[in-house]
Every structure is written in structure tokens, then in C-alpha cells.
Structure 1
């Protein structure tokens, strides 16, 4: 979620910040990035299959070496063709876990990206929140066809917005029509201030969105809006009596042992260990990337404030389809893209590869970080990857990484 824009004029700064913020926490696969630094090498963690053997064991070892090499090559390309100083990916399947990184986590010290580095996960937060909401629906503590007004009376009113006509289902699927607060220039100006400024509250963000007319009538179309998930965070708190962060920790992070995942609130720094986050180089593509590691994530809230690791995200997206968090009927609702014309379900979207494989996952952009996690429908194969800038990777490089992992024969 960019805080400071590189343009020199105040008007330029505000407009650039608004445009960047509107792109933050978005869902689009694959993305497109600009030119980036040359690769500076790759680090790796071997999974199962190391050593020597014969017969089937030897075949598995050879396959493991092949997929390990393919992952390293794809991550090197991701870094080399993008605008990020570094990139990393972690893959899990029946043969074990593979990790590869390329480039640098810290341009000042020359530190490489580590497997257990914490980073901002952006809109991947939405999948966590959707999981909690669907759990509460399964427990009959709320209904997906409940209106926003029933849980948050009076909050969504005015300028053609009416919480009495918007359901929780429409929030989950981005079919509410509510304006995305991230596209409001006043929020962009607020985020252009130093992180020491007073944090924005979820209700302030909602009021900012409601000050704009809706994009369409509830249920009439689809448009990705961070306002939807900020509202869902408030609904979770109203239903459970606990903040969405605490409820997500109790229901998801704790049971899965996701110790590297946290909700920082207004805390501007990252837990250790971590590298740095950088703004992408724009214009001529030359110069030194600006360090944007420290920021106030409170404006992202339930739409994108989570901090995590590649291991934690892979574990979560691998566990989700296996039934430990949601019953089959709830998972089917999560993957139902009817309302969005095939683009988005409830906190998940489909990624369709040219080899015929369909994956399910989410991505996230926030200042200094781009990440994506995808998994096969059964959760047995998962890929989590990240760059240390918010710019999406080059589309061809991202496709190559996905195909290397999921289109192998």
C-alpha cells in the first residue's frame, strides 16, 4: 500500500498514490511487471528425494532434481524480468518441500531472501477472513444472506449506498457495488504521511467509501473492492465480540500452527527475520529502489494487513481444501464463481493454466511486497511465491513459474 509516491508535484504525488493504492490488495493473475535487476544467484532448500537409489526410488530422485532445477530457473526469471530486487518461491507436494530465491532481500547489506522471512501478504488476508466468516455461517452465528444493516446498523448509508440491500454474500464475492476506499484520494493523501500519523480505523475507511456513490446496485455486477472485506472484519467483531485478528488467530492461525503469521494493526515494522520492501523503479527503469519497508498497515485492515511467511501461506492453502477448516459445502461456496462470471469466489479465485490445470488461490499487493499462493483443488500441491516490491511480476515470467510447477508430466 504505497505511502509516498515518487512524483515531484503535490498533485502528482496524490494522484499517483491514489492509483497505486487502488491497485493494492488486488486480484489479477497473472500480472505484468516492468524491467528489473539482473539475477544475483539463487538459494535453495532441498525437499524429499536427496541421496541415491535404484528403481522407483531413483526415478523419484531424478524427478525431484528436475523439479528443483525448474523451480530455481523460474524464480531466477521472475526476479530478472521483474522490477523487484529479489524473488522467492516455496513449493509443496508429495515429494516434499522445495525453496528457491534469487536476488537480494536487502540492497544495503547484500542479504539474500530467507525461507522464514516475514513479509506483508496484502490481500491474501482476504482468504483468512473469508474462512472465518464461512466458519461462522456454518455455526449459524450469521447467515450469508444477512444484510450489512443487520450487523452494522447505520454504517452503510448515504449517496445511494444502503446496507439494508447489501448481503454478506455480496461482500464476500465483491458484488456489493460499494466504492473501493483505496481509490479515494483523501485516503491516498493520508497514506502519504509518515507512519507516525494516527491510524485510520475500519469505520473511517467505510465512511470514506460510502461518501462515494456505488458503482452499481448490489448484486448487479462484479468489482473488486477492499471496502467489502473491511466490512466483513467489522461483522466478525460484532458477531464474536473479538477483533477479526484475534478471531482469525483463534480459528485458523493457532490450529494450523502458523506462527509466522500475524496482524500488525498500526505497527509499522515487520517481525524478525525480514528483508526490506522496495518501491518499483518507474520511468527509465534506472536508479536505486526506494525502501518502503516501514508503513502504517491500519488502512488495509481486514482487506490486507496480514504479515506471513511462504511456509505458513503454503500450509494454509494446502489445508483449506482438505476439510480441516471448512466442511465440503462451505468450500464449494468459496469456489463458486457464478456471481463474478468466473473471476472470483469467496476469498479465492481460479487460476487456469494452458495445460488444462485449474488452481485456486489469492494474491496480494501492498507497499514493498507482491505475493501469490495457489493450490490444486485437493490441496496436495501448493506454490507460494513473492517479490520484495508491490509491482506484479512480468506476466510471461509468472506463467513460466506456474507451468514449471503444475504442468510437468
Structure 2
């Protein structure tokens, strides 16, 4: 992992807005573009990128920079890390294996990974795959132990689960809801057993190759790179202070996140994936119904309910959207659309904190972007 402080002079580039709007044809989105511009000029984000697929065509808008050292503007084709949107890909692969009768949502973790989930109130016999995918397992979230993730150079999935097993379970399986990255590490391990191939290969075979998503993949091994073109990723490492040092963390070992949040993509690929998923091109009807059966969330994102790797999000005005958000150091992303996938929007920031504009974090920026698009006349 390469963590470099950015030069103070580079930080002055943040308020500079650069627009790359629409390919010829699609209707203009002045309200969306205005939010992007304010996110940089007032919100202090280095750069922001949005892509929209709608019946009128594709639209792209950017503001700010991809690289604070050079001033290179964000581009519509930028690659970036998508964090927990990885979970939507993993859940989709799992459900496709269910469709092939390779696994069942009612199978237990103990059936597939014997002896791994045990101790401290954890019971692999009581945790089903469904409970992994909708975060009702009660399994401790290993990323809540940051100290354990700063010791080793790389982490195997089994080691991540072992970190979680060193803590008490949050609740008995099925008795609550809590977002836990451990759930999706376990899901990825089950996919590898049931599908008899590495998770990265199964994501490619089930999703990215059939849909022709050339910029989307799960890194393998300790690959720290991003393909060109890409934005630099800037993080304050959770330091909320006004004078926090901002670090360039673009080259990053993502083995601590794997099936929970390590994938790379682009806004165009995310839009195409989400449109296909919502539009019924990836799963049969009965499994789409399973995926979009939601449970209430707690102490998480306002207005959300959680399904199997997807969320429903109700905007302040009452509009309901479907998709997922993801955050990883220096890169925050939302991908949401109408229930039928007719209109989808993906948006990414290459910084993970806001410093003004009335926004507490990039999620608030994303909410304003979605509101500008999905509640317009």
C-alpha cells in the first residue's frame, strides 16, 4: 500500500472545476452538473464523476481533478475502486449458482466451510447463505478491528474470518441486522467451493464477460495497481479534523477487503451492470424476488433497506431507487436506478471527505446528485 501525503500546493487545485458533459445527443442535466460543480468548489472534494444511462441516451459529467499534482481533470472513462458495490457482484454470482442448483440460499455456512464459524456466540450451523447476503447473520465485522488489519502485508479470506472469530457475535443469527464485511468474505469462500473456481474468475464468467464490462474486475493476489485511465485516490484516513493530512492511496493492497469491497470498475460499466441486473437479464424471476426482498437496516444509511447484496434507497422526496454504495480509502461510489433498470446513475468521488458546502460526507453529495436526476420533471 502506497500512502503519500499530497503537497499543500496540490490541495489548492481542489476547487478548480473541469466539465466533461454529455456525448452528443442525450438531454442536458444542468441540475446534476450543478451538484458536481458545488461538490468540488464548495465541498472540497478533489474530483467527482457521474454517468447516466437513460432512454434518452448516455450522459457523463465531471468536476474537479483526477490528479491534484498535475491538474488533470476527471474523465468519463476513469477506473476507480468501488468498495462495497463488490457485494452486489458477489451476491449476483451466488444467486446464479443457486439457479444452477450448485448451492441453496438455505444452506448453512457449516455445510460449506466446516469448523470456520464458531466460538464467541458464532454458530455456523445457524447461519444460512441468505443471512450472509442480507447481513442478518450476527457475525462480527472484521473491519471493526483495524489494528488486526495493519499487521500483515497480505490477508487470506480465512485469516479475515479468523479475525472476526476473535470477537463475540453481535447477535444470534436472524435476531437483528448489522452490516458485516465478514458475511461477504464467507460468501466469496462458499462461491469458490460451490463454483469450483476462484471468485475473480466466476465474476468474469457470470457477469463481466457476458455483459462486456472491460473495466470491471476483482484484483487477484497482491495487485495494487489501477488500469489506465484512472483517478488518483485521496484519503484523510478517517481524520475529521480541518487540518487533516490528505494522502494519496491509489496504489493499494486490497486483500483485506476481497469479496467485501476490492473490485475496480467505471461508471459506464456500473450503469450497464445495474441496468442488466434490475432489468432481469442476469437472474430468473424467482431469484430476483429473493434478491429484492429487503429487511430494515439499523445505524446505517438513512432511507435504506437491505436485500441480498442490493439496497432500496428512498430519497427525501419519497422516490425509491435500487442499487448499492461503496466506500474504500480515497474512493466513494453510488450506483442506483429505477426498479426496472430503465434509468441508472453511477457517481464516484476520488476523495473520501467533504470540507464544506453543507455536506457531512460524500453520501450527502450522492443523495443530492440522485435527487437532481430522479426527481427532475
TM-score normalised to structure 1 length: 0.82
Match of 1:206 in 2: 161
What whole-Å deviation, never above 9, does each CA across 1:45-72 have from its counterpart, x for those lacking one?
324537xxxxxxxxxxxxx23x2x2221
Q: Which residues of structure 2 form unaligned runs of 5+?
A: 6-11, 299-303, 355-360
Deviates more, 1:397-406 or 1:161-170: 397-406
- Please say if residues 173 and 339 of structure 1, whose CA atoms lie closer than 8 Å, have aligned partners that are also in contact: no
1:126 is the counterpart of 2:87: yes
Mapped pair 1:365 → 2:295: no
The 1-side partners of 2:31 and 2:371 are apart by 10
The answer on 1:302 being equivalent to 2:263 is no
5 Å-filtered alignment, 1:159-170, equals 159-170=120-131
**Alpha-carbon distance in structure 1 between the residues aligned to 2:122 and 2:134:** 17
Structure 2 residue aligned with 1:98: 59
Query: Match for residue 232 of structure 1?
Result: 187
3-state SS of 2:20 partner: strand
Specify the SS of the correspondent of 2:61.
strand
Alignment of 1:348-363 (within 5 A): 348-363=310-325
Q: Which range moved further: 172-181 or 275-284? A: 275-284
1:308-359 alpha-carbon deviations (Å, 9 max, x no partner): 1111011101110111100122112111113658621111111112333200
Which piece of structure 1 moves more, 279-288 or 69-78?
279-288
Task: Describe how 1:145-294 pairs up with structure 2 within 5 A.
Answer: 145-190=106-151, 198-265=153-220, 266-280=222-236, 282=239, 284-286=241-243, 289-294=246-251
CA shift in 2, pair 1:149/1:284, >3 Å: closer
Q: Secondary structure at the match of 2:105?
A: coil
* Equivalent position of 1:113 in the other structure: 74
1:140 corresponds, among 88, 97, 101, to: 101
Residues 293 and 307 of structure 2 are in contact (CA less than 8 Å); yes or no, is this contact kept in structure 1? Answer: yes
Whether 1:343 aligns to 2:343 is no
Query: What SS does the aligned partner of 1:49 have?
Result: coil
- Size of the alignment, in residue pairs? 359
Which stretch of structure 1 is more off in the superposition, 279-288 or 199-208?
A: 279-288
SS across alignment from 1:359 = strand
For residues 288 and 111 of structure 2, the distance between their equivalents in structure 1, rounded to whole angstroms, comes to 25
Partner secondary structure for residue 297 of structure 1: coil
Contact 1:81 1:394 in 2 (8 A): no
Question: What secondary structure is seen at the aligned counterpart in 1 of 2:131?
Answer: helix
Q: Name the TM-score, length of structure 2 as normaliser.
A: 0.89
Q: CA deviation at 1:139?
A: 1.7
Query: C-alpha displacement at 1:288, in angstroms?
Result: 6.1
Equivalent residues in 2 for 1:11-160 (5 A)?
Answer: 39-47=15-23, 49=25, 64-65=27-28, 67=29, 69-160=30-121
Distance 1:396 1:233 in 2: 30
The runs of at least 4 consecutive aligned structure 1 residues that moved more than 4 Å come to 2-6, 281-284, 339-342
**1:170–1:339 distance in 2 versus 1, CA, 3 Å:** farther
Matches of 2:172 and 2:155 in 1, distance apart? 27
Contact 1:317 1:373 in 2 (8 A): yes
State the secondary structure of the residue aligned to 1:246.
helix
Q: For 1:119-151, what per-residue CA distance to the aligned partner results, in whole angstroms no more than 9, with x for missing partners?
A: 101100000000011111122111101000111
Q: Which runs of 5+ in 1 are unaligned?
A: 7-35, 51-63, 191-196
Change in Cα spacing, 1:394 to 1:81, as seen in structure 2 (3 Å) is farther
After superposition, the Cα gap between the structure-2 partners of 1:83 and 1:149, relative to the gap in structure 1 and judged at 3 Å, is farther
Q: Which structure's residues are more often helix, by fraction?
A: 1
Distance 2:14 2:253 in 1: 31
- Secondary structure of 1:43's counterpart equals coil
Distance 2:13 2:178 in 1: 34
Name the larger-Rg structure: 1
- Using the TM superposition, give the Cα deviation of residue 203 of structure 1 relative to its aligned residue in structure 2, in angstroms: 0.3
Q: CA RMSD in A?
A: 2.3
Alpha carbons of 1:83 and 1:329: their partners in 2 closer, same or farther (altered >3 Å)?
farther
Q: Do the aligned residues in 2 keep the contact of 1:279 with 1:389 (CA within 8 Å)?
A: yes
Q: CA deviation at 1:399?
A: 2.8
